[in-house]
Structure 1
Amino acid sequence: MSHSVAGEPPSAGRRAAPLTTAVYSAAEWDLLTSLPARILVAATAPGPGRPRRGLSEGLAGLEALTAGRSFDSDLVRAVVSTIYARPDGQPVAGAGDTDLVDLLAACREAVRVLDRRADPADSAAYRQWAQSVAARVCRVPPPGQVRPVGEPPAPADLRFLDRLGDALGLR
């Protein structure tokens, strides 16, 4: 049996998990890696006073999700890597669920997991990044509308972002 020396890639056929993931149970890691997609889906879903979203809003959310690759947080980068490493067609737990109450409960549970397991800086970076996915969606004007530069999102979108920020412990 051969052993890997520090700095060597893992042996063929075996992937080394980033050290950040080692402290999380499978259920906790699934929660942390599925939450950004759930936030993206909820942010693009129409709601009371919120416009129907189109392709440009969804793409803005995906760009925010992908931006996590360049975050100065091992946790955020590991989450993004896990998201993009999923095989095509593999369902994301809860991604089709646009119920705001369920999403906010999942956010609060993720905060509890992060409080128990994550470095405070990684926790803060994850929570800010997760909210940035929704913020990017809500800042893109609905199809057929032009929002002047600097104009805030619609009041219903601001309420959505506020509730999300509260659930993520950002307020």
Structure 2
Amino acid sequence: MVSRSLNLILRGTEFVFVLIIMSLIGNVIAMAFAGNPALINYDMFVAAFAMLSLFYLIFIAFNDSFMGHPIFPVILDLLNVIFLFCAAVAMAAELHVHSCSNDTYTLHNHLTNGANDRAGRCREEQAATAFLWFTWALWTVSLVFSFLDARGGGVNLRGPLRRGGGRPAMSQV
């Protein structure tokens, strides 16, 4: 069992980081004059999904009786780890990490082009990428803690164990 205070600190830090990601991506969306690439919309989906997950996960961190089943936090943490990893890798791959002062780069990159302030949009996307990676690392730790809590809470994640070499005893036949 992971201590409640450690779990709350971890979830609170995740909440702050997801809020920062949501605000950065929201500002990128708001400053666009010709629509946004699908990756920007996916990043906002990831932030919204993580925020909705955190409302439930922070609530059950305070009171375990509302959990329902101990596997629910593991599933939510696993989905968030996968979504955040995909968003972080895609943003890093599409941005190509050039200087945001380079007008040629910001003009020809489909993520940075699309706003009047291309350098500002570029910097916000780079900051969002960094926070996506930090949040992914935090959520990976949360996944490990949720998995350990689920195993300690009586959830059999391996299936039934057979004793005696896998053959039924005569009394079971």
Q: Taking structure 1 as the reference length, what is the TM-score of the superposition?
A: 0.32
Higher helix share: 2
Q: Taking structure 2 as the reference length, what is the TM-score of the superposition?
A: 0.31
